[in-house]
């Protein structure tokens, strides 16, 4: 969901998502797809993929959802330091993973993603 929302905000840039424990090749959860369709964003072609050193190296900015992800990403890919941020950092919140939860939890997660993107919007544009 964050990838689709950031891509809509930054159409002139490439936005991609990857996970530390992604289900490689799996589509986005049906709840995610439905919520994004309600916003006019089709993520049906999205497929999960794992984060790699190459993806870290080619990225200008890397966002994670929670503090544990940030710590683990830095442990695995120390060269990401300096361009790695938690989406909720400016406001001090983590964004939970709603995997295998009901739609209400996906809606709650999406609200946190929106909040994080709203905080980062101008900062990201200034960096890029």
Query: Of 95, 91, 89, 99, nearest to 112 (Cα)?
Result: 95
pLDDT, tens only, 44-99: 999 999 999 999 999 999 999 999 999 999 999 999 999 999 999 989 999 999 99
pLDDT, tens only, 13-38: 999 999 998 889 999 999 999 999 99
- In eight-state DSSP terms, residue 50 is B
What are the chain's domains? Answer: 2-121 (3.40.50.2300)
Query: What pTM value is reported for the model?
Result: 0.93
Matching residue, tokens 């190296």: 57
- Phi, psi of 85, rounded to the nearest 5 degrees: -140, 150
């Amino acid at each position: 969901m964050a990838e689709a929302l950031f891509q809509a905000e930054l159409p002139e840039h490439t936005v991609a998502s990857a996970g530390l424990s992604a289900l490689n090749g799996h589509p986005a959860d049906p709840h995610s797809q439905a919520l994004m369709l309600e916003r006019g964003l089709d993520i049906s072609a999205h497929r999960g993929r794992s984060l790699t050193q190459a993806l870290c190296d080619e990225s200008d900015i890397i966002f994670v959802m929670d503090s544990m992800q940030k710590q683990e990403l830095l442990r695995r890919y120390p060269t990401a330091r300096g361009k790695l941020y938690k989406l909720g950092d400016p406001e001090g919140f983590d964004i939970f993973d709603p995997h295998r939860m009901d739609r209400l939890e996906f809606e709650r997660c999406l609200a946190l993603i929106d909040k994080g993107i709203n905080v980062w919007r101008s900062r990201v544009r200034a960096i890029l």
